[in-house]
Structure 1
């Protein structure tokens, strides 16, 4: 399959590391002009250099705030592909999570995507072509007991994405969600270390121990790579995925035991 996104502009939020950075690089490799986003100019510049400076530009803005989303929209008023990847997570006992933390998780993980899609998707409808992808998680379905606030926001993303796809049906615009499973990234490495401890030096081995203990239903038996998740997002951003909309596609390594 030859995916060609030449002439398309793609915005990937939270794309200075991990899955977001891999998505940005994958979209650029497919020919899209890519806008990377992060909270600091230094990290945004590093991401641009990683992806290759030609055809890549960046905007430093905190999309977890209304002002940050507005700044990003002002800098990049029109895109063809929107990947809502920005997100935060951290383990915390359920009854110890304060209001402020619930609100912070919802602002970053849910409202960022709503605010940006509210601006960009109507433009996509006007041009009768567009792709919006919400990077959710298998935690949306199988809520992790160590971070229920995170799982709650990921479930909300699925609802938002499905609702948006219904709102633009027949327009040539698709809206989908991707459900990664445990994936190797900068943040996940720290999380896995917290869950497993320092009993092993190799991150690869720590990941396998984490999967065995905490996600025993995994068929993959290891952490996925960010590139493996990015491949699904690049496909959903393409013309080849025109008939896929309103869907939640799993890249979870088989952690979820459901057949659909």
Structure 2
């Protein structure tokens, strides 16, 4: 299968690292012109340079802005009024006991993880519908199904994305536009690698430490290791492709089999 996104425009939110950056590279490699997003000039410039180094001839531009609020989303739309592909990847996480999470933190997680996707989908979907083609992908998580006891607020926000994607898929039914969610499981991002460095045993690699972490924290994993960011990005790029034309309203799991469900 050769995915060709030549002539397509894509926006990936929260994409200066991890899964988002891998998705930018994958989309650029398929020929899309991609807008990469981060909150600081330094992080955006570094990420753009990394994409251009990794993908010869990549057409990638950076947008600096915090999309976790209404003003940032409006600024992005003003700078880039139309897109064919929208990857709602922006998200925050962090463990905190339910009884210690104040309303303000619940609201912050909802604003960043859910409302950023609501606002941008509302802005870009009409143009996709008018053009008769478009792809919207929400990056949820296996935590949206397997709610972590130490991150209930995070899990709830990721469950909300599943409902949002499904509802929007129904709203745009028959237009040539698809809306899906992708559910990564434990993934070896740079952030996870940094966390694990402090736990390394003598002679142990990061990959081995990640495997031990997965088997300890997600023992139901069927691949018995962490996924790579590229493995998750492969699913995102597929969902954004013409080949995925009959896939919509779906929750596409890249969780390594963590969720014990048929």
* TM-score relative to the length of structure 1: 0.95
For residues 144-203 of structure 1, what are the alpha-carbon distances to aligned partners after superposition, in whole Å with 9 as ceiling and x for unaligned? 11211110000000001111010000000000000000101133335557xxx6363632
Q: Does 1:158 align with 2:158?
A: no
Which residue does 1:126 correspond to in 2?
130
Contact residue 133 and residue 176 of structure 1 kept, 8 A: yes
Correspondence 1:40-51 to 2 at 5 A: 40-51=40-51
Contact residue 145 and residue 159 of structure 2 kept, 8 A: yes
Which residue does 1:25 correspond to in 2?
25
Q: For the aligned residues, what is the CA RMSD?
A: 1.3
* Cα shift at 1:100: 1.5
Alignment partner of 1:110: what SS?
Answer: helix
Contact residue 90 and residue 191 of structure 1 kept, 8 A: no
* TM-score relative to the length of structure 2: 0.94
Which residue does 1:95 correspond to in 2?
99
Which residue does 1:254 correspond to in 2?
257
Change in CA separation of 1:92 and 1:242 when aligned onto 2, cut-off 3 Å = same
Q: Does 1:82 align with 2:93?
A: no
Alignment partner of 1:37: what SS?
Answer: strand
How far apart in 1 are the matches of 2:170 and 2:142?
A: 22
Aligned pair count reads 256
Contact residue 31 and residue 58 of structure 2 kept, 8 A: no
Q: Which runs of 5 or more residues in structure 1 are unaligned?
A: none
How far apart in 2 are the matches of 1:191 and 1:102?
A: 24
* Cα shift at 1:205: 2.6
* Cα shift at 1:127: 0.5
How far apart in 2 are the matches of 1:31 and 1:22?
A: 14
Alignment partner of 1:175: what SS?
Answer: strand
* Cα shift at 1:232: 0.4
Q: Which runs of 5 or more residues in structure 2 are unaligned?
A: none
